[in-house]
Structure 1
């Protein structure tokens, strides 16, 4: 969640793909150019592009079987619904900024496209092969904070995808991590075992959701995930040899938060400069 580390990692991806290393002011544009080279359709415009179930991204995802859990059963969205989504997206970004300007910077950097889908899935999705893209199907009772949490949640996934491309998180490819002996408890699907990389992602992205709800005075996810996150961390640590040094560093940070649930410290680490240039420290 640290903005300095996010900027540094993203700049390293840009350099790996384009051969140039952008400064902070040019990073957002450079990342969008880089993402355009890594995915089937380019980033368009300077802001976050919004499309719907009849857009090019929706068609691509349906044709390729991506985000099937979100697209299945989707129906047509009318103009008032789309207008409401557009307005809510703007308000959600403002809500994120009100909680943490640097979390907003992370979303502004990493999210280039939002696809709204009226499927009743009540959730969102992102994929490593489509940097910048977030797909979401808002629930009927979603308010601005719910969409804001969804955007930060998916931006954190995108952040982890970038970090994995740059540093590597595991010593085995994703398909190998699906083997039963490598599965770990999920912090979200409580009591269930998931492939190691997916369980690790799920555990990490619970943290910004808990943070955002805590600072708007809601305890639902904090109470739900506090214990399951600790259980997930204990199970993830059993697979420590399968993490790279960088992955072990992330796991160590995650486990420290799971033990403390210290939101004041978490708020400080979002903007702290000490995490930029952070050297991988192996978890004990």
Structure 2
């Protein structure tokens, strides 16, 4: 396990035994033996411009510090996935664009050793038209964002949404913890969180084939508190103010299940990846009343949400997708690494694509990935105004990530590959 992840875990939890981390030998694979570039996936191209996706309500304004939907609610009232005019078959340029994107998805080896060695190759989606030299997301096209939603190829390409990538990262982690190669995915998930329990000092509710919902699990609340993800005061918890009422829980359950259904209907591979990688979604109120959702490396597999009365299905879906992208990145960082020295991250400040304020490099890299994933998701669902809002700041944020890394060399080899993927992805989407 990479040193920075170890520091996160040890720093956030008392009683974690550092010697347990020494059993992890993933780092032995890093170095001289780097595989050649994997062949491009010979994936059959399929354009699915399904005009009959389920209608969805509009996003509503969220007053959290992390997200700002001001002005979006009015423009998206009554928004629904609509049938697009001008069939894409009439535009050879658009078809070529979709074909090129489809061809960029790399095949994976099912052998964990080969997969680990070829990680950088898996992330290599570079294209001759995407600024090979500068790695800056420059494009002469101003593509209509709605075009991105006409085909699933962009969601298929975005690696945090790929089931195969996520499950192989989980399999790598289990192998290094147990020296066992588990092929059954449900068993793999249960083994992973069983092994992680001692490392994180937190028992998470888990079931192999579903995401568990938690409203009053004391172990989860205690873990959220100790991980500093949701630091409740003792008086706040003693009074039970962190808990939702029965009526509130029933409404949240309906909302959450509908949101997951929308995600599943929008991209079943993303939904399957979520079920595999997320142990549970915990619904608890925030003492500070500042945030509405969160996830953290020291509580891997747990998503925390604090839904408010005005939340709609699309907003709930966005928050779940948002936190899942973080979770997918945490898994990748766990087994592949990302940063040369985490102590230097505060020195490498970059403007966040989500919060629009300077943040540590790791936070801003995550924010850029979240923004790219949400743009892709929203265009597929049909919420183009929200996608356009996110797209305004993303290219500049990615450009700054490249610039700051060039100056500070904060990323390791895997981290550089992750940034290169994001840079090329932005170019391919023509945002």
TM exceeding 0.5: yes
Partner of 2:200: 39
Structure-to-structure mapping, 1:80-229, within 5 angstroms: 80-119=247-286, 121=290, 123-173=292-342, 175-179=343-347, 182-190=348-356, 192-229=357-394
- Native 8 Å contact 1:38 1:130 kept in 2: no
Partner of 2:402: 237
Structure label with greater radius of gyration: 2
More helix by share: 1
Alignment partners' CA distance in 2, 1:76 and 1:36: 24
Q: CA deviation at 1:262?
A: 5.5
Q: CA deviation at 1:60?
A: 3.4
Alignment partners' CA distance in 1, 2:176 and 2:226: 30
Q: CA deviation at 1:76?
A: 4.4
Give the alignment's Cα RMSD to 1 decimal.
Answer: 2.5
Structure 1 regions of 5+ residues with no counterpart? Answer: 264-284
SS at match of 1:169: coil
Q: CA deviation at 1:39?
A: 1.8
Cα distance, 1:68–1:257 mapped onto 2, change above 3 Å: farther
Structure 2 regions of 5+ residues with no counterpart? Answer: 1-159
Cα distance, 1:42–1:151 mapped onto 2, change above 3 Å: same
SS at match of 2:419: helix
SS at match of 1:129: helix
**Could you tell which deviates more after superposition, 214-223 or 50-59?**
50-59
- Is 1:9 paired with 2:194? no
- Native 8 Å contact 2:244 2:285 kept in 1: yes
Alignment partners' CA distance in 2, 1:169 and 1:129: 16
Note the alpha carbon deviations across 1:50-104, whole angstroms, 9 max, x for none: 22367432233235533349xxx86542111011112222222221110111100
TM-score by length of 1: 0.82
Partner of 2:135: none
Partner of 2:425: 257
TM-score by length of 2: 0.55
Number of residue pairs the alignment of both structures matches: 258
Task: Considering Cα pairs closer than 8 Å and 6+ residues apart, tell me whether 1 or 2 has the greater RCO.
Answer: 2
